[in-house]
Structure 1
Amino acid sequence: MARRRARLGLFEPVRGGGAAIALDEVEISILRSLLVQLLELIGPGDPPPGADDDPLAALFAEGPGKPPDDPALARLFPDAYAETEDASEFRRFTENDLRARKREDALAVIGGLDLGGPVLKLSADQARQWLGALNDLRLTLGSRLEVTDDGEGPGGGLDALPDDDERKPLMMAYLWLGGLQESLVEVLTG
């Protein structure tokens, strides 16, 4: 059973708490492309003032005080509180670290794809990074597709989109990533 699941592009458990998945070249290419786009969206972050001069200052640097204007970034970096001064303060002290973690997760997945063979075997820590990156990709695509909490985008789901709709490939990727994410969650919690 585990071999069949791996051939279908779903995660399966491995000893030691990790996960394994078999992806074909097309799936690897799509995943890599989406992750590179995610990295471009997240960006390098604003360098803290004086970071080059004082590494300690960089450690205690503050981030932005307001949410991003881009809806996808706003979804990746939501306010922790309702529109208040507390939300601004919380964002200032957490967003830089959150951006760094999201970049690290995406880069770890890209690195795993580059080093992988026919079956990618992930440690428990690597599997958690994959889960974070898959979640970030789905949040970004969901935002771009205007997917609501019930999983529906404008005009319904994938079946409701005409074949020539430019959103159809994105919706297919969104659903595929959801399957990957769900199978990984099952492995990590099972």
Structure 2
Amino acid sequence: MSAWNLPEQTEGGKYRIPLRSDFAVLISQLSVELVHLLDAPVEGMDFLAALSGGYELKEPPADPVLQQLLPDMSDDPIDAIELRSFTEDTLRLLKSQRLQRIVGVLENTPEELIINEDEAWDWLSAFNDMRLYLGMRLSQYQGSVELVEPQWSKLEEKAEVLFSEESVDLPQEQLQESLICLAYIVVSWWQDSLLQEVINKQ
């Protein structure tokens, strides 16, 4: 497979990622899917509801992907529901806004991405949400409703098919799985490399 484009530190506390346009489009499209899944409410609605005493108790989401993205904040079931009722809408909104900013940047960055030092943790958090989302999608292909750590060799094997002549004959479901494998690899390498650069700078 062609070389991965990984973050590297530049002068002035910034991080540079040379972008492959096809990778950027793929990550952007999957980020939009995740934004739709999060279905963020209007900003401040849960806070206003809490102040007025009009908030409703929230059960954990039925979607296993959202269960990973919006986990319980307490081991106690009653406390978990109470905390979720105060915080879930704000968390959905925060995650959605981070992803939307990334989508906007990727769609308007033709050759390289510059991440400012004060934005690095927002990018790392968004990358983490993407990995959870993509990891759950891959787990579901294996028939699991729980997050299963993917085998890196299997990911690369399925992603490699996209760069071969075989890709034109792939069934739609297999093609989609291979694209998700590729996205998982790209996001993982971006996140891990950016995190290492951030740590090195401290």
Q: Tell me the TM-score normalised to structure 1 length.
A: 0.78
Which of these residues, 164, 176, 180, is aligned with residue 190 of structure 2? 180
Question: What RMSD, in angstroms, separates the aligned Cα atoms of the two structures?
Answer: 3.0
- Are the equivalent residues in 2 in contact too, given 1:63–1:93 (CA < 8 A)? no
Name the counterpart of 1:169: 179
Name the counterpart of 2:155: 158
Deviation at 1:71, TM superposition (A): 0.8
Counterpart code for 1:180: W
Aligned pair 1:106/2:99, yes or no?
yes
Deviation at 1:72, TM superposition (A): 0.7
Q: Structure 1 stretches of 5 or more lacking a match? A: 1-6
Q: Distance in 2 between matches of 1:9 and 1:104?
A: 25
Name the counterpart of 1:148: 148
Deviation at 1:8, TM superposition (A): 3.8
- What SS is found at the alignment partner of 2:182? helix
Counterpart code for 1:100: L
- What SS is found at the alignment partner of 2:114? strand
Q: Distance in 2 between matches of 1:92 and 1:68?
A: 12
Q: Distance in 2 between matches of 1:102 and 1:168?
A: 25
Bigger proportion of residues as helix? 2
- Are the equivalent residues in 2 in contact too, given 1:63–1:91 (CA < 8 A)? no
Q: Tell me the TM-score normalised to structure 2 length.
A: 0.74
Name the counterpart of 1:39: 35
Q: Distance in 1 between matches of 2:79 and 2:133?
A: 25
Which of these residues, 17, 21, 41, is aligned with residue 21 of structure 1? 17
User: How big is each residue's C-alpha offset from its partner over 1:4-62, in whole Å with a ceiling of 9 and x where there is no partner?
Assistant: xxx841001123433111112111111110111111111133787xx5xxx98368474
Name the counterpart of 2:109: 116
Q: Distance in 2 between matches of 1:112 and 1:168?
A: 25
- Are the equivalent residues in 2 in contact too, given 1:134–1:177 (CA < 8 A)? yes
Q: Structure 2 stretches of 5 or more lacking a match? A: 140-146, 162-169
